[in-house]
């Protein structure tokens, strides 16, 4: 079975500051890794994913995450956040067939002016 840990339930940060949201997973088999974002009153949206290849993956709005197999981590980072990044972020893992996703408990990012 797989499990996902997001140690920070809330992360307050000022606008234009850098941020890192931590994600660690446990699995006995190879997994694929995802970050989903949930803006207020909206459904979950895929932010970025790691399937294979380069361990550093990027989203279109400036977020990036790096897959670290030895540390079983997939931390999400952004060098300079905006007010509009305020949302809840969920890390998730899936096995090869993508028929089941395991989600972490989420991290609420609160960007303050």
Partner 1 sequence: GAGVSQSPRYKVAKRGQDVALRCDPISGHVSLFWYQQALGQGPEFLTYFQNEAQLDKSGLPSDRFFAERPEGSVSTLKIQRTQQEDSAVYLCASSYAEGGTEAFFGQGTRLTVV
CB of 7 to partner 1, least distance (A): 13
Q: Which stretch binds partner 1 (CB under 8 A): 23-31, 60-68, 69-77, 91-99?
A: 91-99
What are the respective helix, strand and coil percentages of the chain, to the nearest 5?
Answer: 5, 50, 45
Can you tell me the distance from the alpha carbon of 3 to that of 54, in angstroms, rounded to the nearest whole number? 23
CB-based contact 56:66 (threshold 8 Å): yes
By CB under 8 A, tell whether 39 contacts partner 1.
no
Q: Which residues bind partner 1 (CB under 8 A)?
A: 4, 6, 9, 32, 36, 41-46, 49, 51, 90, 92, 94, 97-106
């Amino acid at each position: 079975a797989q499990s996902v840990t997001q140690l920070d339930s809330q992360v307050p940060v000022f606008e234009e500051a850098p941020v890192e949201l931590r994600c660690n997973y446990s699995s006995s088999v190879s997994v694929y890794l995802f970050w989903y974002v949930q803006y207020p009153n909206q459904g979950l949206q895929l932010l970025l994913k790691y399937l294979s290849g380069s361990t550093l993956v990027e989203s279109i709005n400036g977020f990036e995450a790096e897959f670290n197999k030895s540390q079983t981590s997939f931390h999400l980072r952004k060098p300079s956040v905006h007010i509009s990044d305020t949302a809840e972020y969920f890390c998730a893992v899936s096995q090869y067939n993508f028929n089941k996703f395991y989600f972490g408990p989420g991290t609420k990012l609160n960007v303050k002016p």
